[in-house]
Amino acid sequence: MIDRTNGGSPPAHPQVFHTVPTAVIAEAEQRDRYPQQSELRELSAFFSSGQKRLEIAAALAQNADRIVAAGANRIFTGGSPMAYLERATDPIGLPGSGYYIGEDFLSAKARSKANLAQEPRSIDPTSGLMDWFKSLFAQGRPNAPSRFRTIDISKYGVVRMKRSMRDLDWFLRYTTYAIVAGDTNILSVNVRGLRGVIPEDVTLATVVALQEMQWKAAQYVDAEAKALVKRYFEVLITEYLVEKPNPRLRFGASKLHPGQPLPQSYYDSALPTPRLVIKPGLSETEKQEAIRAAYRQVFERDVTQIYGVALYDLESQVKNGQLSMKEFVRQLGCSRLYRREFYEPFTISRVIELACRHFLGRGLSCLEEFQTYFEVISEGGLPALVNALVDSQEYADYFGEETVPYLRKLGLEAQECRNWGPQLSLFRYSTPVRKVPQFVTTFAGQQRPLPNQHPYGVGNDPLEIQFGAIFPQETRHPKTQPAHFSTTSRRILIDSGLHNGRNGDRNGNTHWGRVPGTFGHPLLKLEPTHQPRRGNNAQGPYLDVARHSIEAVILGTYRQVFGRDVFDGQRQMVAETKLKGGEITLREFVRQLAKSRPFRRLYWENLYITKAIEYIHRRLLGRPTYSREELNRYYDLVAKQGFYGLVDALIDSPEYIEEFGEDTVPYERYLTPRGYAMRSPQGPLAWWKLRDNPDIAGDWMAAHTPRQPVKIRSTVDSVVASAPSARSAQIAMATATSQQPREMAQPASDQSTRTNQGAGSEQSPIVAGSSAPMSGSNAERPSASANDQKLPSSGTNPS
């Protein structure tokens, strides 16, 4: 399975902790209100104490080495623990910086260099002595419990020493962060439960070290700040001592998706969003707030009088306690307003996505879940879907009877990574605006190409491909999903000349016009007896040497098989002689050409396999490959039997025999608008240059082949006869030359509506069968092109 689609995943930067202002704002925002007076007071206290806290943080950061050294010296003996402290000065090499270099992977040279750089950070002996003196007189130095034993550095090992020192430093660092932020949340997110991670035997030592650091840190700040520092270290130690917390589990959405565990710290770091509940004992305002929250969850906005809702009855029932919150949400889902806002404007799959958001607070989890709900909604409509969601086990697990549903966002619980992008994007507030279903398109993008889809790219029409376009654009628009394409799809057929008895002129040329870039005459047929063809009786027997001589057939075959006229040295004289002598059929001749050295060099040796198959297929069968299945078959064939096997398979295929038989030169059978554009004089770019690019083959013909003025005059006469009042205009027209058909056509179109209507049916089939871009360009000047085509033929057929 290839995931070709970028799920539109936005980069998510989860907030890993919160501070006083963010917490206040988040709370206010969640309830859609301004910060309250109490909150403003809290903020104001936070701001006014800010200077003090910054000073403390700065002082601690400045003396970080000493503080850490104090803690370390307390628990380690037999060396200088500070020698093991590596402080990151350079972000490069740290995990998360992009290129993390594990220490074991350093080269010998780099390692010695790194060692040199880490000069043992010895504490200045005098200041150490001073510290020691000071500490003798300082009060309140913590006593270690009697169970505590110091750790010998040499026994402890280098790696563990480094880790321990790093951890001590990090504890201090997080403490300074927390002091700056004015919130202990950072500490709990980063430290909580570390005891369960760090080996059991050093728990006690760590606590002793932390207490020592706490005491030491207090030395560097003034009396007022001492209490603050002490408090944060207390929190640090308490959080450290917490048992390793149990991971929080995300309840499974379905049998296919058992729950996922989420670390406690992940949960702790989430912004505190209040869960609103409706209980009998609550005050009126609290109830009102919960009801508004329910509106915001279900309707994604506050619902007020202006929406013309008669939900007040329900509201009062909720307030009275007659309705539980669950029932209230259900009623909201079944309301007329919900139907109008979230059901009627959208396709069913979008409705399911949105309902999942509104009633379960999450996005769809998997395709299977979507299918379940799709079945529900197709059988019972929207109310059934709402009931299914509200009655689900998941709703009961998360929200129960009382809680207002909420969005289970990033940070609140584990998110499924396979729907990461759509989940987050669904939670953005403007989601109902998006008309394209988010999840279903993503699931559709995780596709293996359908059996009838062409493996290259995902264009609507795989018939005409550009060989370089194997790698589709990664960021495709969800609207341009591939259309299924199969052998039964309608496509443009190039006239093969087989039906020229019906709609061709005397020479067997159809007036559809020749598609520029196709080879020679549509049909070349080897007729050894050189008899005139049957089925052309109206014109009487005749022999067209240019088309039916054996030499012409041979040349035509070369053109078709090689794609061009070959040089004399490349001609297969032996095969030609045999064909002329009637020893081999034309089909055999084609086979020999295809197996010849020049052909092999041209279409096999220099190309990669897919392109080679594609070219040879076009040359010998006259059409591109249809689908992946077909190509797979050829890959298989080529792998097992090689080039000659492929040629044989194509020429012996039932399709070849049915289409071309033994005596017809293969011809190009299909052309798509895109391929047509690629062959047109200006190349594919000329699509947007409508004026330079003849938009139908007939137009192109009109510009390149001279016409017979006699026919045009007869047309004019017939028009004149039918509309004598516009005589002067017709006379003017009659004097026009045949080289300017468009100028003539314009005045005629005023009155001869009959002519125009007829033109529609007799237009080039290339136009009639073309797909959107082509008819789009054609629509620019319909009357002109129609009349170009029309004039000669209507002359012969005045009725």
Q: Which residues bind other proteins (CB under 8 A)?
A: 15-19, 21-22, 24-25, 28-29, 32-35, 40, 43-44, 46-48, 50-51, 54, 57-58, 60-61, 64, 87-89, 91, 94, 96-97, 170, 173, 176-177, 180-181, 186, 302, 304, 306-307, 428-431, 433-435
Sign, Cα dihedral of 458, 462, 466, 468: positive
CA distances from 175 to 8, 45, 183, 223 (A): 38, 20, 10, 18
Nearer to other proteins, 32 or 565 (CB): 32
* Minimum gap (Å) between residue 229 Cβ and other proteins: 15
Residue 705's nearest CA partner among 758, 667, 741, 733 is 741
Residues with Cβ within 8 Å of residue 218, at least 6 apart in sequence: 226, 229, 230
> What per-residue string of b and e applies to 753-772 under the rule 16 or more CB within 10 Å gives b?
eebbebbeebbbbbbebbee
Nearer to other proteins, 190 or 510 (CB): 190
* Minimum gap (Å) between residue 422 Cβ and other proteins: 14
Nearer to other proteins, 68 or 613 (CB): 68
* Minimum gap (Å) between residue 47 Cβ and other proteins: 2
* Minimum gap (Å) between residue 727 Cβ and other proteins: 52
- Cβ burial of 616 (10 Å; 0-12, 13-18, 19+) is buried
Which residues make beta-bridge pairs with 447?
2
Question: What is the tally of helices (H) and strands (E) in the chain?
Answer: 39, 6
Nearer to other proteins, 89 or 740 (CB): 89
SS3 state of residue 3 = strand
Nearer to other proteins, 428 or 689 (CB): 428
* Minimum gap (Å) between residue 271 Cβ and other proteins: 10
Nearer to other proteins, 181 or 208 (CB): 181
* Minimum gap (Å) between residue 428 Cβ and other proteins: 5
CB atoms within 10 A of CB 65: 15
- Output the DSSP codes for 425-447: HHTSTTGGG--S-HHHHHHHHEE
User: Which letter does DSSP use for residue 87 in this model?
Assistant: -
* Minimum gap (Å) between residue 35 Cβ and other proteins: 7
* Minimum gap (Å) between residue 193 Cβ and other proteins: 19
Residues with Cβ within 8 Å of residue 508, at least 6 apart in sequence: 497, 500, 536, 544
- Output the DSSP codes for 146-206: TT---EEHHHH-HHHHHHHHHHHHHHHHHHHHHHHHT-THHHHHHHTTGGGTS-GGGHHHH
Nearer to other proteins, 304 or 486 (CB): 304
CB atoms within 10 A of CB 796: 11
- Output the DSSP codes for 591-658: HHHHTSHHHHIIIIITS-HHHHHHHHHHHHHSS----HHHHHHHHHHHHHHHHHHHHHHHHTSHHHHH
Nearer to other proteins, 32 or 375 (CB): 32
Pairwise CA distance, residues 604 & 175, whole Å: 70
* Minimum gap (Å) between residue 50 Cβ and other proteins: 3
* Minimum gap (Å) between residue 283 Cβ and other proteins: 23
Cα within 13 Å of Cα(8), Cβ side: 15
* Minimum gap (Å) between residue 755 Cβ and other proteins: 43
Nearer to other proteins, 342 or 456 (CB): 342
Nearer to other proteins, 30 or 793 (CB): 30
* Minimum gap (Å) between residue 65 Cβ and other proteins: 11
745 contacts 791 by C-beta, under 8 angstroms: yes
248 contacts 222 by C-beta, under 8 angstroms: no
Nearer to other proteins, 60 or 552 (CB): 60
Nearer to other proteins, 91 or 102 (CB): 91
504 contacts 536 by C-beta, under 8 angstroms: no
